[in-house]
């Protein structure tokens, strides 16, 4: 008795994206934990998953990766552009640490926040719960004199998000490397590009050219994920929409730095299935993160997420 054998006629029939094949998802999750980093035919030769034993190791390594990209760009006297998430967050304190330890300036860094909470018109949230505030508190302000110039910082407002494609294209034309930093959602979204959006397009080729979306409707499980991880379980505080970049920007990155740290402790977690789908599902527009292995980069993840993904009744 499982999901597939009981879903018909249940409240979950039709709830998940039409493109999700649960037999295929189950096969992804049935792999042995020690095989999680085994290379797959569809992976880019420059893509590498990196297993971390602890959350502390994960945060240090991911922060070092971000800081090192800035350091290398400075050494080449080149501009560098980042698409940045609010989640994971622990890497930012270590990126700050390494940049200050190395005395590396961010004057040649341009940053584009990938998303922001919004209402039905695309008006964005302000104050403590905003992603802009989170970035300023965790990354920009602690860098002090080394920080990213204010006019190099971009946030996903309904006025500014539509300017991202032109700004990023101009930077790349000037030789800037584009680096995507990301986390993987419970629904396998990157940024807030949700899997149900796949139904709106006739092909992966059409889907992958979409640059952004204003007031995107979030999947219910995305709202619940954020209620659990960011809002102390209070679903009532989580906006149901967001402004977000799309695959037309994120998957044109030259390099990607990803993180999966979704373990709650006491054997509970929310991200194991999402990690395995990212690494094994093969590219499909209904599983946004399945395109991640097709671009060069490193995906850092906590060992616990690899499983085994079986019931724990202890």
- What CATH number is attached to the domain comprising 167? 3.40.50.1360
Torsion of CA 6, 10, 14, 18, to 10 degrees: 0
Q: Within a domain: residue 88?
A: yes
- pLDDT of amino acid 172: 98
Q: Tokens for 145, please give them.
A: 């004199």
195 and 20 in contact (C-beta within 8 Å)?
yes
Q: What ranges in 115-208 are assigned the alpha helix state H?
A: 131-135, 164-173, 204-207
**CA distance linking residue 258 with residue 240, whole number of Å:** 24
What is the token pair recorded at 291? Answer: 């395109």
**What is the total count of domains within the chain?**
1
Q: Are strands 241-245 and 212-217 parallel, antiparallel or unpaired?
A: antiparallel
Flag whether 281 is in a domain: yes
Backbone phi, psi, residue 63, to 5°: -65, -40
Burial 299-313 (b: 16+ CB within 10 A, else e): bbbbebbbbebeeee
Range of the domain at 276: 47-305
Residue 13 forms part of a structural domain? no
pLDDT at 183: 98
177 lies in a domain?
yes
pLDDT score at 128? 87
Is residue 229 within 8 A of residue 252, CB to CB? The reply is no
130 within 8 A of 117, measured Cβ to Cβ: yes
User: Is 208 contained in some domain?
Assistant: yes
CB 188 within 8 A of CB 276: no
Interatomic CA distance for residues 50 and 62, integer angstroms? 10
Predicted confidence at residue 312, as pLDDT, reads: 78
Task: Tell me, yes or no, whether 172 lies in a domain.
Answer: yes
* Residue from 257, 103, 112, 254 nearest 176 by CA: 254
Look at residue 143 and give its three-state secondary structure.
helix
Place of tokens 């499983």: 307
Give the model's pLDDT for residue 314: 67
With vertex at residue 122, the alpha carbon angle to CA 116 and CA 128, rounded to the nearest 5 degrees, is 40
pLDDT (tens place) for every residue of the chain, 314 residues total: 999 999 999 999 999 999 999 999 999 999 999 999 999 999 999 999 999 999 999 999 999 999 999 999 999 999 999 999 999 999 999 999 999 999 999 999 999 999 999 999 999 988 888 999 999 999 999 999 999 999 999 999 999 999 999 999 999 999 999 999 999 999 999 999 999 999 999 999 999 999 999 999 999 999 999 999 999 999 999 999 999 999 999 999 999 999 999 999 888 999 999 999 999 999 999 999 999 999 999 999 999 999 999 987 66
CB 278 within 8 A of CB 237: no
Assess if residue 143 is contained within a domain: yes
| Residue 288 belongs to some domain of the structure | yes
Per-residue confidence (pLDDT) for residue 217, from 0 to 100 = 98
């Amino acid at each position: 008795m499982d999901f597939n054998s009981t879903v018909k006629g249940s409240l979950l029939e039709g709830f998940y994206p039409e493109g999700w094949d649960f037999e295929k998802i189950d096969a992804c999750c049935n792999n042995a934990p020690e095989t999680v980093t085994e290379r797959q035919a569809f992976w880019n030769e420059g893509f590498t998953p990196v297993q971390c034993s602890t959350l502390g190791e994960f945060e240090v390594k991911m922060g070092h990766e971000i800081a090192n990209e800035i350091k290398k760009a400075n050494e080449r006297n080149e501009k560098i552009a980042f698409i940045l998430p609010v989640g994971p967050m622990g890497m930012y304190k270590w990126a700050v640490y390494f940049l200050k330890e190395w005395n590396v300036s961010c004057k040649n860094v341009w940053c584009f926040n990938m998303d922001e909470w919004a209402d039905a018109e695309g008006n964005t949230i302000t104050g403590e719960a905003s992603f802009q505030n989170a970035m300023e508190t965790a990354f920009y302000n602690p860098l002090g004199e080394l920080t990213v110039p204010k006019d190099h910082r971009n946030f996903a407002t309904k006025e500014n998000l539509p300017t991202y494609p032109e700004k990023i294209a101009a930077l790349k034309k000037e030789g800037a490397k584009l680096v995507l930093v990301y986390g993987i959602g419970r629904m396998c979204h990157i940024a807030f590009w949700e899997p149900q959006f796949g139904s709106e397009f006739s092909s992966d080729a059409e889907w992958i050219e979409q640059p952004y979306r204003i007031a995107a409707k979030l999947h219910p499980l995305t709202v619940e994920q954020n209620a659990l991880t960011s809002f102390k379980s209070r679903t009532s505080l989580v906006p149901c929409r967001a402004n977000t970049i799309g695959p037309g920007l994120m998957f044109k990155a030259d390099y990607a730095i990803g993180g999966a740290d979704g373990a709650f402790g006491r054997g509970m977690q929310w991200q194991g299935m999402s990690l395995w789908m990212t690494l094994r599902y093969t590219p499909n527009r209904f599983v946004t993160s399945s395109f991640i292995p097709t671009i060069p980069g490193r995906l850092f993840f906590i060992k616990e997420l690899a499983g085994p993904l079986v019931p724990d009744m202890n």
